[in-house]
Amino acid sequence: MGELFGGFATLFTPWPFLYLLGGFLMGLVFGAIPGLTATLAIALLLPFTFGMEVTHALIMVMGIYMAGIYAGSITGITVNIPGAPSGAITSIDGHALMKQGHGAQALSLDAFASSVGGMIGAIVLMLLAEPISDLALLLQTPDKFGLVLMAVVTVTIVARGSLWRAIIATTLGLMISTIGIDPMVPQGRFDFGSYYLIEGIGLLPAVIGLFAVCELLAQGSLPARAALGQIVGKMPRLRNRDFIPDFKTIREIGAFTYIKSSIIGVLIGMLPGGGASMASFISYAEAKRASKRPEEFGNGSHEGLAASESANNAMCGGAIIPLLTLGIPGDAVTAIIFGVLLLHGLVPGPGLLDAHAATIAPMFAALFVASLLVMVSVLLFGPLYMRVARINRGILYAFIALVSMVGVYASSFSSFQMWMALAIGAFAFGLRRFGYPIVPMLMGVILGPYLEEFLRRSLIVSQGDPLVFITSPGSAVFLAMTLVFIWLLRIRPAMAKSGR
């Protein structure tokens, strides 16, 4: 608890707070603009973190994360084009309210719900991180293999579209992770005789390639009117005070809806592959099921708006828990945060909180304060939100292109890393173009070394006996959970669809 207060004290000194504000504003812009996401914003930040203290980098990342997830709903409400997939459910009722002339009210309720959800998520993170971290110290090598395998499988099966394409994407990521020195014996693998490849493919070119370069190429293949929609209609002229939330409506929605949706968001955030979109969808469905006015859902329901938005911001706190305590990133954003930690010599997983509590505590504080800033931001920038989708694409993508490439170069002063980022980006664009998901590939790149090392170590200890994964209690539990997820997320929906 002392470290936690210390974290808040650190956050409220000038530089850390400025980093939080900077990250928050970056997250707002990237989250709100269709085609850009919090993931891309953190990926672009990655090279800059080399020049930052790790605490500042983590604070900034938390600002981007919270603001980016929230801002995904802004253009969803104003022009019905969600800035990020997490805002898609919110835009159903939010845009309906906008069309009814209640756009400012929709944006303020949206920000209020995001703030509440974000705060609840951050509080749960502060309460659960330490106990889970202590439990994680008890895990044996086969248990760790079971856990990493569960994360890899779950991220693969929750990916949208074809399961086979998701399996291919994950496998490609795992293959990339095998390039370079073998994790167990000093032997180069898949270097094709090139000394550049002996050290393997760095995380930075992989992240920049998969997200920034791939996004640049994807946007280049889309005409502007398809990328941004017809955002030329007249927006109503509004003042800042129009964005003060209507507390009568908030009372009507009820504290229970906010709390229940936030808890759903936290729980889904803790699951590998959960993510903001799934959190908002499930909590929206639950709010509709429990509502006294389900007929309003889809036609401008305040309850629906509050449920989806509380859940997707509460998810942020939930997703950080397995990342820090077990070393398991659950989605693309936490996978990149994993990278930020690694680049600064901190290995996410059991023991991190004990060894680096003073470094990590400001991160928790930042997540909590960023959720408060969400409400402040709508009061300050509400009128601007109505116009944010009109930002010039030329400026935007020229900026992204330059920062990506120079960022990769500056991290190692090697042109080879830029070639690698471009090659991975072009390959990822091909995958995306043909319907292969990118996030499982990133998870493969990041978790591959751990998966292989834990697998081989377990088999060495058991002298090649694979039953070790069933006889070890932790591993058996994780493998059983993996089978349950496969049943719930793939087999049961497929059976329901085919009418069996």
Binding site for another protein (CB under 8 A): 47-48, 50-52, 162, 164-165, 167-168, 171-172, 174-175, 178, 182, 184-185, 187, 189-190, 192, 213, 216-224, 226, 392-399, 401-403, 405-407, 409-411, 415, 418-419, 422, 426, 429-430, 433-435, 451-452, 455-456, 459-460, 463-465
Shortest separation between residue 304's beta carbon and another protein, angstroms: 31
Distance CA 292, CA 491 (A): 32
For another protein, the closer CB: 127 or 406: 406
For another protein, the closer CB: 195 or 434: 434
Shortest separation between residue 12's beta carbon and another protein, angstroms: 23
For another protein, the closer CB: 73 or 170: 170
For another protein, the closer CB: 8 or 190: 190
Distance CA 362, CA 424 (A): 34
Which of 148, 138, 65 is CA-nearest to residue 328? 148
For another protein, the closer CB: 95 or 432: 432
Which of 125, 124, 106 is CA-nearest to residue 309? 106
For another protein, the closer CB: 364 or 429: 429
Q: How many CB atoms lie within 10 A of CB 492?
A: 11
Shortest separation between residue 392's beta carbon and another protein, angstroms: 7
- Kindly state the DSSP code that residue 490 receives in the 8-state scheme: I
For another protein, the closer CB: 217 or 379: 217
Distance CA 146, CA 319 (A): 19
Shortest separation between residue 413's beta carbon and another protein, angstroms: 8
Shortest separation between residue 34's beta carbon and another protein, angstroms: 14
Distance CA 496, CA 500 (A): 6
Distance CA 53, CA 344 (A): 9
- Tell me the DSSP string of 463-487: TT-TTHHHHSHHHHHHHHHHHHHHI
For another protein, the closer CB: 235 or 401: 401
- The kind and range of the H/E element at 288 are helix 275-290
Distance CA 388, CA 63 (A): 19
Token pair of 476 as six digits: 């058996």
Which of 373, 100, 372, 381 is CA-nearest to residue 239? 381
Shortest separation between residue 131's beta carbon and another protein, angstroms: 33
Which region, left, alpha or beta, applies to residue 299 given φ > 0 means left and ψ of -120 to 50 means alpha? alpha
Name the packing angle between helices 332-343 and 38-45 (round to 10°): 10
Shortest separation between residue 164's beta carbon and another protein, angstroms: 5
For another protein, the closer CB: 225 or 293: 225
For another protein, the closer CB: 38 or 420: 420
Distance CA 114, CA 333 (A): 18
Which three-class secondary structure state does DSSP give residue 156? Answer: helix
Distance CA 16, CA 28 (A): 18
Shortest separation between residue 170's beta carbon and another protein, angstroms: 9
At which residue do the structure tokens 């170590």 appear?
457
For another protein, the closer CB: 52 or 477: 52
Shortest separation between residue 424's beta carbon and another protein, angstroms: 12
- Kindly state the DSSP code that residue 188 receives in the 8-state scheme: E
187-196: long-range pairs with CB below 8 Å, 24+: 196/414, 196/416
Q: What is the distance of C-alpha 212 from the center of its chain?
A: 15
Shortest separation between residue 397's beta carbon and another protein, angstroms: 5
Shortest separation between residue 461's beta carbon and another protein, angstroms: 10
Token pair of 169 as six digits: 């994407």
